């Protein structure tokens, strides 16, 4: 008899826990309203655009320093008969990086273009990475 009471108590606790888990699951699955989610993504994009505008000068400085260090190293470590070709490919790679950097900045600077920001910047970055990887 005592065992049956303990079993009943455990089953009752189990059902309570299952109900709490079901309530928690419903809370986790809850989706945002489409308007609220659209606003969330727009706010994130606006913050990213503001950060890009603020970071353009440091990014340019870092990119120039990187070029000033890597280009002479590339020139000095390449065999003389391949030097012109190798430096040319490196410059092509740098040009793709500059295009991606300035396109990203131009898209961030013009509010009329913000609607197309995600698609164009993703395309430009893929283009730049394709160029860089093909010359390496």
* pLDDT of 28 higher than 70: no
At which residue do the structure tokens 């308007």 appear?
A: 35
Asked if residues 38 and 54 have their Cβ atoms less than 8 Å apart, the reply is no
Between CA 20 and CA 135 the distance in angstroms is: 58
**Whether 89 contacts 131, CB under 8 Å:** no
Q: Crossing angle, helix 83-109 and helix 34-77, to 10 degrees?
A: 160
Q: What is the pLDDT of residues 111-127, one digit of tens each?
A: 888 888 888 889 999 99
Q: Please report the pLDDT score of residue 30 as a whole number.
A: 62
CA angle at 14 for the pair 13 and 18, rounded to the nearest 5°:
115
Give this prediction's pTM: 0.66
**pLDDT of amino acid 69:** 95
Residues 6+ apart with CB under 8 A from 86: 74, 78
Confidence check: pLDDT of 29 > 70: no
What digits encode the pLDDT tens for the residues 60-101?
Answer: 999 999 999 999 999 999 999 999 999 999 999 999 999 999
Q: How far apart are CA 64 and CA 70, in angstroms?
A: 10
How long a stretch of residues is the chain? 136
Percent of the chain with pLDDT over 70: 95
Mean pLDDT (the chain) is: 87
């Amino acid at each position: 008899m005592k065992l049956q009471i303990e079993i009943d108590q455990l089953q009752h606790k189990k059902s309570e826990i299952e109900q709490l888990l079901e309530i928690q699951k419903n809370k986790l699955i809850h989706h945002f309203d489409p308007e609220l989610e659209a606003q969330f993504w727009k706010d994130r994009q606006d913050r990213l655009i503001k950060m890009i505008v603020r970071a353009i000068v440091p990014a340019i400085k870092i990119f120039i320093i990187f070029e000033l260090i890597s280009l002479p190293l590339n020139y000095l470590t390449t065999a003389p008969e391949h030097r012109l070709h190798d430096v040319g490919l490196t410059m092509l790679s740098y040009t793709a990086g500059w295009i991606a950097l300035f396109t990203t900045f131009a898209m961030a600077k013009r509010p009329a273009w913000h609607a197309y920001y995600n698609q164009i910047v993703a395309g430009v970055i893929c283009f730049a990475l394709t160029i860089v990887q093909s010359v390496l």
